Structure formats: structure tokens, C-alpha cells
């Protein structure tokens, strides 16, 4: 083969290789366009997710604020409960003090009441006996007056 033929064969090979490269490049370009389209849809989906994430964050902020409010209310309730507990403790101490101070006095008054009651009952019994004796004497005096 002469040089011209070799060059011609090389040129034909080169032309076919360039054609194959162009075909490959066109396929790559089509694939790139497909990837770009898919990438565009992925970007749109990401934007949608970002929006949803933003609304979730807003909801979480609202929940956090409500939770803070509930925490404050619970703290207030705990303080009120502690105040009530302190007042109950003081009341219990007062009751114990009153029982200690006045329990003995009340016991003495009750014992005196019982003694007076017993004395009154005994006196009532004696008075009843005396009244019966007086009635008998009155009847005897009346009987004697009628005889006289």
C-alpha cells in the first residue's frame, strides 16, 4: 500500500471515529438533558421539602412556645402548692400548740363539770327526799288541823 492509500484509510477511520464520537456525544448530550431534567425535578422536590420543613419548624416553634407556657403554669402551680403546704404545716403546728396549751385546761373543766353534775344529782336526790318528807309532814299537819 502506498502512502496515499494509507492516509485515505486513516482518514476514513478518522471520519468514522469522528462520526462515532459525534453519535456518542449526541447520546451524552441527550443523557445530560435527561439528567438536567431529573435534577430540575429533584430541585423542585427539594424546594417542596424545604417549604414543608419550614412549616414543620413553624409548628415546632408554636409547640415550643405552648410548652413554655405550660411549664410556666406548672411552676406557678408548684409555688401555690408549696405555699398551701407551708400554711397547712403552720396550721398543724397551731393545732398541736392549742391542744397542748388548752387540752389540760379543757380536761380540768370537764372533770369539774362531772364533779358538779354528780353533786347536783346528789343534791337533787336529797331535795326529792326532803320534799317527800315535807309533803308527809304537810299531810300530817293537815290531818292534825282537821282533828283540832
Residue range 71-123, pLDDT digits in tens? 999 999 999 999 999 999 999 999 998 888 888 888 888 888 999 998 999 99
Give residue 107's pLDDT: 85
Model's pTM, two decimal places?
0.41
Looking at residue 2, the DSSP 8-state letter turns out to be -
Say whether 128 sits in a helix, a strand or coil: helix
Give CA torsion, residues 79, 84, 90, 95, to 10 deg.
Answer: -170
Q: How many residues does the chain have?
A: 148
Looking at residue 148, the DSSP 8-state letter turns out to be -
How far is 74 from 68, CA to CA, in rounded Å?
A: 10
Give residue 139's pLDDT: 87
Give residue 101's pLDDT: 83
Per-residue pLDDT band at 146 (split at 50, 70, 90): confident
Kindly state the average pLDDT of the residues 55-74. 93
If we measure between CA atoms, which residue out of 103, 106, 126 comes closest to residue 114? Answer: 106
- Dihedral sign (CA 101, 107, 113, 115): negative
Give residue 104's pLDDT: 82
Amino acid at each position: 500500500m502506498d502512502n496515499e492509500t494509507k492516509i485515505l484509510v486513516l482518514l476514513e477511520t478518522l471520519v468514522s471515529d469522528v462520526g462515532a464520537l459525534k453519535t456518542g456525544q449526541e447520546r451524552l448530550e441527550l443523557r445530560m438533558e435527561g439528567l438536567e431534567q431529573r435534577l430540575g425535578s429533584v430541585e423542585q422536590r427539594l424546594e417542596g421539602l424545604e417549604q414543608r420543613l419550614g412549616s414543620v419548624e413553624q409548628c415546632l416553634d408554636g409547640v415550643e412556645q405552648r410548652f413554655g407556657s405550660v411549664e410556666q403554669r406548672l411552676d406557678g402551680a408548684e409555688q401555690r402548692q408549696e405555699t398551701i403546704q407551708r400554711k397547712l404545716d403552720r396550721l398543724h403546728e397551731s393545732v398541736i400548740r392549742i391542744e397542748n396549751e388548752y387540752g389540760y385546761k379543757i380536761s380540768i373543766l370537764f372533770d369539774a363539770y362531772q364533779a358538779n353534775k354528780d353533786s347536783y344529782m346528789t343534791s337533787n336526790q336529797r331535795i326529792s327526799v326532803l320534799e317527800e318528807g315535807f309533803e308527809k309532814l304537810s299531810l300530817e299537819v293537815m290531818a292534825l288541823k282537821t282533828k283540832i
